[in-house]
Amino acid sequence: MEDVVFLLLCVSSAAAQLCAPDASNGYKVRLSILAALGDEAYLWNDSEMFLFRAALAFAMRTADGQNYDVSNVLVCDETPRVSFWFVVTSPLNPTQLVERRQVEEAVRKSRNRINSAFLLTDKTLEFLGIPPTLAAPAPPSPPPWLIVFGVVMGAAGAGIVLVLVTSVMQKRRKKKEEQTGIDEVEEESRAEENGTASDGVYNLSFSDNDRLTQM
């Protein structure tokens, strides 16, 4: 019995030594549940912590292939902020920590799954020191502004052509009117010359221009 107790104490103290704030192979995690979910926020308790450790074990399994278990993820220094430090031990050797870089790779690979498990985002579930993999920029199918530009330019071009064509047509029409106008005047004068007897022709030399001549 005492052996078991001694063993447990050893393991827990070993665990305590493995996981400590500022551990070389550990990461600090910070959750902002209230900020993210507001009224629908859940309380952070041991079950949620268990879920975290399970999610992280899942991430390690996906990246590594080895059979990581919940017991391989050690957590310490929990605060009311909801922030804590964690380290990952190797499933083959519980006293040996997994390299920092491997943990980082695993987390980055499964970041989305871990986030979704907690209904959080990259900003509200922070792994301090692991930069989030930002979404790749959208592929440049015709950029929207070129489409708007095309529409505006097309309308402008059509407008210019329209105005130019109407002004050319207007000029042609005016020239034609002038031509027919001249023809009409010629016809009228000819008609006057051959006027019927009843119409007569106004002869300007017999006008009452008393102002000009004094006879």
Partner 1 sequence: MDTPGSAEQMQDDEPKDIAERPQWDNQVQYLLTCIGFTVGLGSVWRFPYLCQTYGGGAFLIPYAIGLVFAGLPLLHIELAIGQRLRMGSIGVWNSISPYMGGLGVASLAVSFLVSLFYNMIIAWILWYLFHSFQSPLPWRDCPINLNHTGYVSECEKASAVNYFWYRETLNITPNIETSGSFQWWLVLCLATAWCLVYICFIRGIETIGKVIYVTVSFPYLVLTIFLIKSLTLPGATDGLIYLFTPDWETLKNPDVWLDACTQIFFSMCLGFGGLIAFSSYSVQKNNCERDALIVGFMNTFTSIYASIPIFAILGFKANENLNKCRNWNILRLTNSFNIGDENITLGNYDDWFNYFNNTDPSEVESLNLKTCNLQTFLDESASGTGLAFIVFTEAVIHMLGSQVWAVLFFIMLFSLGLSSMFGNLEGILTPLLDLNIIPAWIPKEVLTGLICLTSFTVALVFTLGSGNYWLGIFNNYVGSMPLLIIAFFEIISVVYIYGINRFNDDIEWMTGRRPNIYWQATWRFISPLMLLVVFVAYVVVAAEKRPTYNAWNPDYVNFPLADVQPYPEWVYAICVLLSVLPIVSIPLVAFYRFMGFLKKYIMNRNNPNPYQSESFHGEL
Applying CB under 8 A, the residues found at the interface with partner 1 are 30, 32-35, 79-83, 131, 133-137, 144-146, 148-149, 152-153, 156-157, 159-160, 163-164, 167, 171
The residue among 137 and 139 lying less far from partner 1, judged by its C-beta, is 137
| Nearest one of 96, 44, 45, 89 to 71, comparing CA atoms | 89
The most distant pair of C-alpha atoms in the chain lies apart, rounded to whole Å, by: 161
Judged on CB neighbours under 10 Å (0-12, 13-18, 19+), 129 is exposed
Measure the CA–CA gap between 52 and 74, rounded to whole angstroms: 11
**CB of 18 vs partner 1, minimal distance in Å:** 22
**CB of 121 vs partner 1, minimal distance in Å:** 14
**CB of 156 vs partner 1, minimal distance in Å:** 4
**CB of 120 vs partner 1, minimal distance in Å:** 12
Which residues are CB-neighbours of 95 under 8 A, at least 6 positions away?
Answer: 14, 18, 89
CB 56 within 8 A of CB 108: no
The residue among 157 and 195 lying less far from partner 1, judged by its C-beta, is 157
